Amino acid sequence: MKKVNQILLIMIMILTTVLVAVVALRAYDAYETDRRLAREQEEQEVARVYERNREAQARVSEMQTEIRELTQDKESLRQFIESIQNDEAAQDETEEIRGDDAAAEEGEPVGEEPTVDGNESAETDEANEGNQTEEYMTDSDDDKVSDSDAVSDDDAISGDDTISGNDTISGDDAISGNGAVSGNDAVSGNDAVSGNDAVSGNDAVSGNDAVSGNDAVSGNDAVSGNSVSGNAVERPLTLLERRKLRTSLEETLAVNEADRERIADSHIDFSGKKITCLGDSITAAANLEDEENYQQYAYPAVLQEVLGAEEVCNLGIGGSSIGRYWADAYVDRYEDIPEDTDIIIVMGGTNDGFCVSDQEFGSLDERAYRTFCGDLDELMRGLREHYPDADIFFATPLPNILHDYLMRERDYLLPQQKFVDVILTLADEYDYQVIDLYNSNILDSHDADVVADYMPDGVHGNHDGYRILAQHFAAELIRYYEDGAVSGNDAFPVSRNGADGVSADTVSENMSE
């Protein structure tokens, strides 16, 4: 009997083991089935997004042809651009009304004017126009602000740093009277700002040659822009604010003149430095590929010429995006950057704007894979890990009319500003420098004159357009390293009077057209 019981016990154990194995196999099979279905669903979604984005990119190519044809008649081009902007303005107004209605339902006050930096009041647009000075004024400019153009008491700038009613901006670009900017650093005549940034010639009054922490390198701000005084860094001007001051063509010409002067006066020696430019068709100058040796006109090639750099590697691929929802994503190819690169410039976001819906945009809270927020975060983190000794600069995309044109047909697309904001936020988090092209108001194809002269298809430059872009990048790099030299950073040798590097005369010759 005992033997029988033992046999029965063994049989029960065997049956139990078999049963557990069957259950486990079924559970595993269900798990694998779920994974396979999820993978297939993800692949189908990726294929759907790729097909949608392929159609969008094809439509963009058609739009570029339309813009090129319109450039033959500037008035028709101007009317076309205005019609798109009017549609955009009407849509923004509708969304604002909806937002006010929603706020009213919640019992929140609506219709109040926003304040600058949260606490300071601003003049009306009419009062501000013509009374705000602009950076990069030349001796021949007629836009100088006379003593009568005082910045009023209401024009508060960044926190407690205000320019009082007695602070006038004279024709010599000096802030006279009793005007102290942030603390005790008074600015008058050609005195230095904050002890380092001398105001001379055509330099900006606000002394925004300084780069503090990860403040945007782009130095095209007016007096209320990026000036660094004491410990206060004032808010940069937005694209909309700049447009109220002057057109993009006027801004482009003024900034380019200042950029050329900065390059000609530079003593920074780039002769032993290697630069890599990661980007899309704007970096590759893909629109010129029908021309022989077209890459000589691309901004990286011109940048090498202007700076006298040892090497500038062009990693631009036409049609590529930062994120993985379209072709040749930056995040999948940044490791192609040579290991011995000294400077990395990443310019992107244009094609992302042509592709991305809310789903692909993602959020900075989640930073999910295959989203703009997640893939850009991965790109910035990867650059830091793989190129710890390189100086890394991110450039925001140039504002372009094609984006608004496409948005009119595809309502899932997002405003360019959203992509710019994420680039600025993450660059600040990783302590990268930013060349903020979007808010600079240069080469903006919402201006028909810019399209006609420099951006013939509404998004890519011609020879002159790419040269202006290259000169701006060169001037911003020089600005950054000059500030480093002033603060005791010896990362780059300083060539005095051209003795150790490319002379100012040589650079000036390189820039001449």
Residues of the chain predicted below pLDDT 50: 102-104, 106, 108-216, 219, 221-232, 494-513
From the number of C-beta atoms within 10 Å of its C-beta (0-12, 13-18, 19+), residue 207 rates as buried
Cα Rg, the chain, nearest whole Å: 28
Tell me how far apart the alpha carbons of residues 162 and 156 are, in angstroms, rounded to a whole number.
5
Q: Which two tokens stand for residue 359?
A: 């789903």
Amino acid at 71: T
Specify the pairing of strand 232-233 against strand 228-229: antiparallel
Tell me how far apart the alpha carbons of residues 100 and 358 are, in angstroms, rounded to a whole number.
22
Which CATH superfamily includes the segment(s) 238-511? SGNH hydrolase (3.40.50.1110)
pLDDT at position 96 is 55
- Domain locations in the chain as residue ranges: 110-207, 238-511
Q: Which residue has the tokens 């993985």?
A: 324
Tell me how far apart the alpha carbons of residues 25 and 72 are, in angstroms, rounded to a whole number.
71
Q: What 3-state class would DSSP assign to 116?
A: strand
pLDDT at position 317 is 98
Tell me how far apart the alpha carbons of residues 258 and 380 are, in angstroms, rounded to a whole number.
30
SS3 breakdown of the chain: % helix, strand, coil, rounded to 5? 50, 10, 45
Q: Which two tokens stand for residue 197?
A: 């940034």
Phi first, then psi: what are they for 392, rounded to 5°? -115, 130
Tell me how far apart the alpha carbons of residues 87 and 249 are, in angstroms, rounded to a whole number.
22
pLDDT at position 134 is 40
Residue pLDDT, tens place only, 80-119: 999 998 876 666 555 555 555 544 454 544 444 433 343 3
pLDDT at position 458 is 97
Tell me how far apart the alpha carbons of residues 251 and 221 are, in angstroms, rounded to a whole number.
11
Amino acid at 99: G
Yes or no: say if 436 and 216 are a contact pair by the CB < 8 Å rule.
yes
Residue pLDDT, tens place only, 186-204: 333 343 333 334 333 344 3
Q: What 3-state class would DSSP assign to 16?
A: helix
pTM of the predicted model as reported, rounded to 2 decimal places: 0.70
